[in-house]
Amino acid sequence: MSGAGFHATLLTPRAPGGIAVVALVGDARFVAAARVLGGVDIDAQPRLRWLRCAGELLDQAVVFDRPERSTIELHVHGSEAVIRALEDAFGPWSPALTTAREHALCGALSETQLDFALEQERLLLPFQGRFDRWVRGHSDDAPALRAAQARHALAMAITSPCAVAFVGRKNAGKSTLMNRLLFTERILTGPTPGLTRDSVREMVALDGYPYELIDTAGEGDIVDAIDARAVALSRAARRSALLVLVVDASLGIGSIERELLAMAPVSLTVRTKVDLAAAAWPADVPPPGVDVTCRDPGDAPRVRATVGAWLRRVRRLPPAGRLGGVAPLDSLELAELRAALESHAER
């Protein structure tokens, strides 16, 4: 049924889950909603309603209208059977995310990111949710435009993941550290050196900011062709990432660590296994920024808080949160803002 004046979008991932969110967007959204809700009233107040598809009772849903976005939202149980039935009723789902602001709102990894996205949405409500209209509405207010431009870098830090690659010798504790930061046993770990061959990438929020964590193959003796390929791929994966050197506290700084320090700038050194007797730290190497023990999964909250806070300080970022004003969220919006500032300067 997607077509003129209406389209249906699945806002949540298509996978089994507790709740799925369907958006009916456009002037004909009430007509579309009637196909599964009958003649019930729909307004801005969330209400529990029954869904019927093909004449059969399907599910209960929380339903409400968002007139400022010309959208009716259906919050339903996230089973594939329910999603498939609604897709049959409304037609193939339209692409869910088309703008940077929709990505920020629907892709939030933390409460802080969600607060930021909701703040930006609220600030643009008087402008129908469009940044270009906000810019035109402030075309004569150069200070407001410059303030928005100044907020761009921080807005990007809140919405765009920073790649962080863990490097170090084999069995230094990189994979265990990453598991603690992810709150799950994502990567196989154990006493055998060299378990990690392929680089593993995962998204996470630390201290309010998004990161793409990359666990790389450990450096050291090359035992076979697969090992050599794993190290080569790991070195390629970390070229554009912020590097975190992971050092086994019981071994300290050796030739492998010195080679890694000489190979590329390291932003942070994490000393793991500090529950063991620590080797002496050489005076010619900057001291570790963070000391952690990751033996117990229960240490995860403390490890996440410690590493996240240090990464934020290394990047010279303030505590994450709302910006207090509109900010451009991608290169297109930034270009619109710069064009408005240039036009103002030419007057």
Per-residue pLDDT tens for 30-41? 999 999 998 788
Q: What is the mean pLDDT of residues 235-263?
A: 81
Asked if the model's pLDDT at residue 293 lies above 50, the reply is yes
Given pLDDT bands bounded at 50, 70 and 90, which one contains residue 190? Answer: very low
Look at residue 302 in the predicted model and tell me its pLDDT: 87
Measured in degrees and rounded to the nearest 5, phi and psi for residue 40 equal -70, 155
Share of the chain above pLDDT 70, in %: 84
Whose tokens are 């070195």? That residue is 235
Measured in degrees and rounded to the nearest 5, phi and psi for residue 123 equal -65, -25
Look at residue 279 in the predicted model and tell me its pLDDT: 84
Look at residue 188 in the predicted model and tell me its pLDDT: 44
Distance between CA 42 and CA 51 in Å, rounded? 13
Q: pTM for this one?
A: 0.66
> How does pLDDT run across 70-127, given as a tens digit for each residue?
899 999 988 888 889 999 999 888 775 567 887 787 778 888 888 999 999 899 989 9
The DSSP-derived string for 41-82 is: ---SS-EEEEEEETTEEEEEEEEEEEGGGTEEEEEEEE-HHH
Whose tokens are 């910006």? That residue is 323
> How does pLDDT run across 115-128, given as a tens digit for each residue?
999 999 899 989 98
Given pLDDT bands bounded at 50, 70 and 90, which one contains residue 195? Answer: very low
Distance between CA 274 and CA 285 in Å, rounded? 18
Q: Specify whether the backbone of 108 is left (phi greater than 0), alpha (psi in -120 to 50) or beta.
A: beta
Which residues, in sequence order, are CB contacts of 190 under 8 Å at separation 6+? none
Distance between CA 241 and CA 261 in Å, rounded? 15
Distance between CA 39 and CA 108 in Å, rounded? 34
- Are 116 and 159 contacting, i.e. CB atoms less than 8 angstroms apart? yes
> How does pLDDT run across 53-62, given as a tens digit for each residue?
888 888 899 9
Q: What is the mean pLDDT of residues 281-290?
A: 86
Whose tokens are 């889950």? That residue is 17
Distance between CA 170 and CA 211 in Å, rounded? 23
DSSP-derived pairing of the beta strands 209-215 and 200-206: antiparallel
Asked if the model's pLDDT at residue 3 lies above 60, the reply is no
SS3 of residue 150 by DSSP: helix
- The total of other beta-carbon atoms located within 10 Å of residue 68's CB is 14
Look at residue 15 in the predicted model and tell me its pLDDT: 65
